[in-house]
Structure 1
């Protein structure tokens, strides 16, 4: 096998991995407005911004004051992470998990297509129903489908076991902003206070959600 050679250096750029990492977080702290967030959630916010490249994301973040301790306690006790999308699950860094926690996405379960047809909903929403035996004390993450977040909230309102924390950052133009408002207003509407983090508006996605999970899994940056 031919040994690869480095191409001729033609651009001026930083190529030291640790330096890029450190300088990125320093830039975020310098440019983002973080004062309105819970003090214990600063590193969470910084990682979410790092995952999107958008410092103004901080203005849309809504972080329950109990989110960070609730999620960290659950993960240190071995709780699973339940994800609505494979890309979210794939973005979780295994080395950061405190107890080798299971990271599960049930979208590929054979039961999902039939449930989606029967209920007239998306596969993402149907897959969330399969979380029920695992929900109690889990950390759940919705980073793709607004229907999945709505479905989860409806399950919880109907009496499903309560997760320890919800990372609710679905992305999109139809239902994303509305599902996040429903998450933020769940305690007022249903009387059940579940710690959560969300990014209001249309922004969201797998990278943002996985970044949040990685921050919750381990405090160190």
Structure 2
């Protein structure tokens, strides 16, 4: 069955049908709201490994969607993640989108504290009251993930959800493992080295769709 290449909706519908068929064939099909997240990650990456390496704290998807539905802030570690999130859908729900990594104050704080700018950006977001009851989304920097873990453990920060999916080779797997040991807040992680900005974006956009009751196959 051919799919018309001038019809974005038909392409999207066919893409998700292929994803679900492949997951079924591999014995990796997900159910419930977690399926919406895993399927959108695969749609964004064409990598079926994410069906096995994506892990959720109990109730994490529900917590994230509920927070977005209440119009919570979303804080990202890098602007690449910020750029991919559907800001119009987030704002329609009453939320806001923030990334401080390119802020001059972030660079100053990073130099003064001896930390990375990504970590300093998360610290600035905390100081500005954007972390509690919000989503913290880490798609690039393990140092930023370690910083939100520190804020939860030492400063009693209370985000609604931490999405920890940095990509790479240095402290990446270790930072995500540390997040899974956190019991104070719900989390979503991709185990090991894989992750990255497209994965972080896919997770947030899947949660936004759940919060707004938008079907997965509806094009933006």
TM-score (normalizing by structure 1): 0.86
Tell me the residue number matched to 1:70: 63
Give the C-alpha shift of residue 181 in structure 1.
0.4
Tell me the residue number matched to 1:20: 11
How far, CA to CA, are the matches of 2:36 and 2:123 in structure 1?
31
Alignment of 1:1-221 (within 5 A): 14-15=4-5, 16-32=7-23, 33-35=27-29, 39-97=32-90, 98-132=92-126, 133-187=129-183, 192=184, 194-219=185-210, 220-221=215-216
How far, CA to CA, are the matches of 1:57 and 1:20 in structure 2?
21
| Structure 1 vs Structure 2 CA RMSD | 1.7
Contact 1:38 1:65 in 2 (8 A): no
Contact 1:47 1:211 in 2 (8 A): yes
Please, which runs of 5 or more residues in structure 1 have no aligned partner?
Answer: 1-11
How far, CA to CA, are the matches of 2:141 and 2:107 in structure 1?
16
Give the C-alpha shift of residue 213 in structure 1.
0.2
Give the C-alpha shift of residue 125 in structure 1.
0.8
Q: For 1:72-109, what per-residue CA distance to the aligned partner results, in whole angstroms no more than 9, with x for missing partners?
A: 11111110111111111110113433514211111122
Contact 1:34 1:42 in 2 (8 A): no
How far, CA to CA, are the matches of 2:28 and 2:85 in structure 1?
24
Figure out how many residues of one structure are paired with residues of the other and give that number: 204
Tell me the residue number matched to 1:7: none
Larger Cα Rg: Structure 1 or Structure 2? Answer: 1
Give the C-alpha shift of residue 161 in structure 1.
2.3
Match of 1:158, SS state, is helix
Q: 1:67 to 1:150 in 2, by over 3 A?
A: same
Give the C-alpha shift of residue 118 in structure 1.
2.0
Please, which runs of 5 or more residues in structure 2 have no aligned partner?
Answer: none
